[in-house]
């Protein structure tokens, strides 16, 4: 690996600069930070899905040697800002979901804290709850609610929302642009279509499951709260936590140099951080540490809400779409409304004269969902891309030809021209590399070898080109010839420390080894989160701006101590539709006797602008695709609605792919000669790898077996007949 030559850092496959300290164990994560006088917090969790704590007896816990404090709603300090229900920890006796924090023990050791938490006795007045996410036979939301239970959104409310009065449904049209049609108009268009697909697809609750659990270490000193936190963004975390305690953001210092994955679950502040900060304030001079257990994470760190997607496509005989209708219901929680907006992809993927999409929350007594890799796009592309495969079969058109036929000349949602839509190039290159032409036969269930059916499938990928302008960076030249580059960016395992070093080296015109990045601390210049695939490009823009300002001020031969800080320029606003695209190709084999599905081969082809580092970029792509294999085949949070709990809340029962599940997997990308000037010509790539991956696998499973599976994960029993 080159360490980067002068002016040649971007595009080099520089190895991870923090790889060695991570492997050696010298990279310190939040829980491992050396702190004076650590104390250990273990939470007490509600064992009912809804109701009230009527008695909580902490006597036995408090009497235990080594216990410092036991907090409940009866003695916990009052929080100041009360907007976010998820964070109002121990503020009342109310229970809004099973697993909610109702108390906490802080002790001299984690073992004592955990033991003492088990000694807390709780009596409840349970209330009726509804934790069952389902639809009725016709794809409508199940009324399924006893009196007083979650209200459902009516058709009239949907129409009002489409008219733009309500935030729950995506209206889908800026003023003057093609409006979404009414349900009656869509039904008329579907009735007139030569070919129609009308199917319902479902995705289950899926969990972010980063390897490092959600972890907080809180210390109060002279009115300043210091948090060592596993977070995707120190400044957003600071902004989220400070108001709860009546603090200004700068009174909370957040330090997070290494994060063991987040996948969206560490974007928002979660309750364990509030609990740790609260307990630390009650214990002056002590550092209070909490790390959620894997089981606790399933109720306290968010998840991708399950979806039910009713997809209707109308087309001419040759597959040209005449109508696209997608109606999604997504689980949300009573405590805090959150939906992903999984109707999003249907609004901009393919051309169609008639279009209507809705996304409705179903509010249940369940843990609070949150962001998860490619929110909205990931789940939404499953239904849409399997439906497109069904349409291809119905019209006897090759699935790639079908997509060529429905390529929109402008963004169907906004009417804007595309800034860089290379979907067809991705499909074409992938088809060549994957040997698509030699798919055994267009007909399914054509190839059986050694007891395994095999087949190939394809699906499109997309992700928006987001970027955030509110970023700054500071550069200082040291006597030893090093440029110290400071920005409060996050390294969540993606390689950001490495690629930011490359960007800084390129912008400063020095070798990468002359740059030292300092990130992950709220005392550094302001940075947005590692999320939305916009981390590298948003932080990188600030670094490039700072490097240019530094050169202007200090020249190419600066004196030691020379320092400059600069802000990124504003967002690019070029009136074009800015989305990245890609294509997934999968070959699967399905065991004829057992229904076991294996992904024999998978190729992703992506168009994401300039690649800053081919090593970390490829890791992000195949990481997303691997997560897509998990989504396709394994991941399934199983809700027991009687108790409002996910029963398979550990890695034994909630399986994510291991090396044994992954066979031949690769990712390639397009060269984009017209990569926009912007700052770097790069776009995000952290999320697009999972979008459409599960659909490609489901489509391949259909081609292998002739069985169309519409519910994730694809269970072996679906393929046994
Ligand atoms: Mo991602 S869900 O924006 O971390």
Which atom number of ligand 1 is nearest to the Cα of residue 232?
A: 4
pTM higher than 0.85 for the full model? Answer: yes
CA pair distance 477, 246, nearest whole angstrom: 38
Cβ contact 340:375 at 8 Å: yes
Per-residue pLDDT at 153 exceeds 90: no
Q: What is the pLDDT of residue 401?
A: 97
Per-residue pLDDT at 721 exceeds 80: no
In a mutational test of the pocket of ligand 1, which residue from 532, 534, 537, 684 has the highest number of ligand atoms less than 8 Å from its CB? 532
Q: What is the pLDDT of residue 165?
A: 33
Report the half-sphere exposure of 3 (CA within 13 A, side-chain side). 8
Q: What is the dihedral of CA 669, 508, 541, 10, to 10 degrees?
A: 10
Average pLDDT, stretch 126-150?
A: 57
Please give the radius of gyration of the chain, using alpha carbons only, rounded to the nearest integer.
Answer: 26
The encoded tokens of residue 215 equal: 């972890």
Question: What are the two backbone dihedrals, phi and then psi, of residue 391, each rounded to the nearest 5 degrees?
Answer: -65, -40
Residue of the CA atom closest to atom 4 of ligand 1: 264
Per-residue pLDDT at 160 exceeds 50: no
Q: By three-state DSSP, how is residue 578 classified?
A: coil
Q: What is the pLDDT of residue 442?
A: 75
Question: Tens of pLDDT along 217-261?
Answer: 999 999 999 999 999 999 999 999 999 999 999 999 999 999 999
Per-residue pLDDT at 625 exceeds 70: yes
Q: In the structure, what pLDDT confidence band is assigned to residue 151 with cuts at 50, 70 and 90?
A: very low
Per-residue pLDDT at 278 exceeds 60: yes
Give the residue numbers marked as catalytic.
687
In a mutational test of the pocket of ligand 1, which residue from 268, 687, 691 has the highest number of ligand atoms less than 8 Å from its CB? 687
Which alpha helices (DSSP H) does 135-242 contain, by range? 155-162, 183-192, 234-241
Tell which wins on pLDDT, 440 or 33. 33
Q: In the structure, what pLDDT confidence band is assigned to residue 570 with cuts at 50, 70 and 90?
A: confident
The encoded tokens of residue 281 equal: 């304030």
Per-residue pLDDT at 539 exceeds 50: yes
Query: Which residues sit opposite 331 in a β-bridge?
Result: 362
Going by their DSSP bridges, the two strands 224-229 and 252-255 should be labelled as: parallel
Per-residue pLDDT at 167 exceeds 60: no
Nearest CA to 622 out of 560, 685, 572 is that of: 685
Which atom number of ligand 1 is nearest to the Cα of residue 492?
A: 4
In a mutational test of the pocket of ligand 1, which residue from 371, 465, 468, 690 has the highest number of ligand atoms less than 8 Å from its CB? 371
Query: In the predicted model, what is the mean pLDDT of the chain?
Result: 92
Average pLDDT, stretch 467-478?
A: 95
Q: What is the pLDDT of residue 147?
A: 30
Question: What are the two backbone dihedrals, phi and then psi, of residue 384, each rounded to the nearest 5 degrees?
Answer: -65, -45
Asked whether 372 lines ligand 1 (CB < 6 A), one says yes
Q: What is the pLDDT of residue 154?
A: 45
Q: Prior bond to 713 cis, omega within 30?
A: yes
CA of 294 to the centre of ligand 1 (A): 20
Tell which wins on pLDDT, 570 or 558. 558
Per-residue pLDDT at 675 exceeds 90: no
CA pair distance 497, 567, nearest whole angstrom: 19
Q: What is the pLDDT of residue 144?
A: 34
CA of 227 to the centre of ligand 1 (A): 22
CA pair distance 244, 447, nearest whole angstrom: 61
Per-residue pLDDT at 688 exceeds 60: yes
Which atom number of ligand 1 is nearest to the Cα of residue 374?
A: 2
Which alpha helices (DSSP H) does 58-179 contain, by range? 59-63, 110-117, 155-162
Q: What is the pLDDT of residue 666?
A: 98
Q: According to the 3-state scheme, what is the secondary structure of 278-321? A: HHHHHCCCCEEEEECCHHHHHHHCCCECCEEEEEEEEECCCCCE
Q: What is the pLDDT of residue 553?
A: 98
Q: By three-state DSSP, how is residue 513 classified?
A: helix
356 DSSP assignment: E
Per-residue pLDDT at 175 exceeds 70: no
Average pLDDT, stretch 116-126?
A: 98
Asked whether 345 lines ligand 1 (CB < 6 A), one says no
Q: In the structure, what pLDDT confidence band is assigned to residue 680 with cuts at 50, 70 and 90?
A: confident
Asked whether 264 lines ligand 1 (CB < 6 A), one says yes
Q: In the structure, what pLDDT confidence band is assigned to residue 573 with cuts at 50, 70 and 90?
A: confident
Q: In the structure, what pLDDT confidence band is assigned to residue 6 with cuts at 50, 70 and 90?
A: very low
CA of 55 to the centre of ligand 1 (A): 39
Average pLDDT, stretch 318-329?
A: 96
Which atom number of ligand 1 is nearest to the Cα of residue 263?
A: 4
Question: Tens of pLDDT along 597-622?
Answer: 999 999 999 999 999 999 999 999 99
CB atoms within 10 A of CB 518: 18
CA pair distance 218, 231, nearest whole angstrom: 14
CA of 120 to the centre of ligand 1 (A): 36
Per-residue pLDDT at 390 exceeds 50: yes
Q: In the structure, what pLDDT confidence band is assigned to residue 549 with cuts at 50, 70 and 90?
A: very high
Average pLDDT, stretch 87-94?
A: 98
5 DSSP assignment: B
Report the half-sphere exposure of 556 (CA within 13 A, side-chain side). 5
Asked whether 375 lines ligand 1 (CB < 6 A), one says yes
Q: What is the pLDDT of residue 289?
A: 98
The encoded tokens of residue 445 equal: 């269930």
Q: Which residue in this structure is represented by tokens 């989504």? A: 631
CA 107 to each of CA 102, 227, 248, 417, 472: distance values in angstroms, whole numbers, following the listed order: 17, 19, 29, 60, 40
């Amino acid at each position: 690996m080159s360490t980067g030559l002068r002016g040649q850092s971007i595009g080099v496959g520089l190895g991870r600069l923090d790889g060695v300290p991570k492997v050696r164990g010298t990279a310190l994560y939040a829980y491992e930070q050396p702190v004076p006088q650590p104390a250990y917090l273990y939470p007490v969790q509600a064992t009912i899905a809804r109701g009230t704590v009527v008695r909580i007896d902490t006597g036995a816990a408090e009497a235990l040697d080594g216990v410092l404090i036991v907090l409940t709603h009866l003695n916990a300090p009052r929080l100041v800002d009360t907007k976010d229900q998820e964070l109002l920890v121990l503020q009342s006796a109310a229970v809004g979901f099973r697993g909610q924090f109702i108390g906490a023990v802080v002790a001299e050791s984690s073992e004592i804290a955990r033991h003492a938490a088990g000694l807390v006795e709780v009596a409840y007045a349970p209330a009726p709850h509804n934790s069952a996410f389902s639809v009725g036979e016709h794809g409508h939301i199940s009324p399924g609610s006893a009196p007083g239970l979650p209200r459902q959104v009516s058709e009239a409310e949907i129409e009002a929302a489409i008219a733009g009065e309500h935030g729950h449904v995506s209206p889908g049209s800026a003023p003057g642009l093609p409006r979404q049609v009414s349900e009656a108009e869509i039904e008329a268009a579907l009735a007139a279509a030569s070919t129609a697909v009308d199917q319902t697809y479902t995705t289950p609750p899926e969990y972010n499951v980063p390897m490092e659990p959600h972890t907080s270490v809180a210390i109060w000193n002279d009115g300043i709260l210091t948090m060592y936190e596993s977070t995707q963004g120190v400044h957003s975390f600071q902004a989220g936590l400070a108001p709860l305690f009546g603090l200004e953001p700068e009174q909370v210092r957040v330090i997070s140099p290494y994060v063991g994955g987040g996948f969206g679950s560490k974007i928002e502040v979660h309750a364990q951080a509030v609990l740790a900060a609260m307990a630390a304030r009650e214990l002056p001079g002590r550092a209070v540490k909490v790390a959620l257990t894997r089981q606790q994470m399933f109720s306290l760190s968010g998840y991708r809400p399950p979806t039910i997607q009713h997809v209707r496509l109308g087309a001419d005989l040759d597959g040209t779409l005449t109508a696209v209708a997608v109606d999604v219901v997504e689980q949300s929680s009573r405590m805090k409304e959150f939906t992903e907006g999984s109707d999003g992809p249907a609004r901009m993927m393919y051309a169609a004269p008639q279009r209507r999409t809705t996304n409705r929350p179903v509010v249940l007594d369940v843990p609070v969902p949150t962001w998860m890799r490619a929110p909205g796009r990931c789940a939404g592309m499953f239904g849409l891309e399997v439906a497109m495969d069904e349409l291809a079969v119905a019209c006897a058109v090759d699935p790639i030809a079908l997509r060529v036929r429905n390529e929109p000349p402008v963004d169907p949602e906004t009417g804007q021209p595309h800034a860089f839509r290379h979907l067809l190039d991705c499909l074409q290159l992938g088809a060549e590399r994957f040997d698509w032409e030699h798919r055994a036969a267009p007909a399914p269930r054509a190839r059986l070898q050694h007891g395994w059916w095999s087949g190939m499938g394809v699906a499109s990928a997309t992700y928006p080109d987001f970027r955030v302008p509110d970023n700054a960076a500071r550069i200082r030249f040291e006597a030893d010839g090093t440029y110290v580059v400071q920005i409060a960016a996050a390294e969540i395992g993606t390689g950001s420390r490495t690629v930011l070093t490359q960007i800084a080296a390129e912008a400063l015109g020095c070798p990468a080894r002359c740059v030292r990045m300092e990130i992950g601390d709220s005392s550094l210049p302001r940075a947005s989160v590692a999320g939305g695939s916009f981390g590298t490009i948003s932080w990188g823009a600030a670094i490039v701006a700072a490097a240019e300002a530094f050169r202007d001020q200090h020249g190419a031969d600066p004196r030691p101590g020379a320092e400059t800080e600069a802000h990124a320029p504003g967002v690019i606003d070029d009136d074009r539709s800015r989305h990245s695209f890609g294509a997934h190709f999968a070959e699967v084999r399905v065991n004829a006797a057992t229904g076991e599905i294996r992904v024999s081969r998978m190729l992703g082809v992506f168009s994401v602008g300039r690649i800053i580092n081919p090593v970390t970029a490829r890791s992000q792509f195949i990481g997303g695709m691997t997560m897509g294999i998990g989504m396709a085949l394994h991941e399934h949070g199983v809700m027991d609605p009687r108790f409002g709990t996910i029963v398979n809340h550990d890695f034994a029962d909630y399986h994510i792919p291991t090396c044994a599940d992954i066979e031949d997997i690769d990712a390639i990308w397009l060269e984009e000669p017209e990569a926009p000037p912007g700052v770097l010509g790069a776009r995000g790539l952290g999320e697009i790898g999972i979008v459409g991956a599960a659909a490609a696998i489901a489509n391949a499973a259909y081609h292998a077996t002739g069985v169309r599976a519409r519910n994730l994960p694809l269970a072996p029993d679906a393929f046994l007949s």
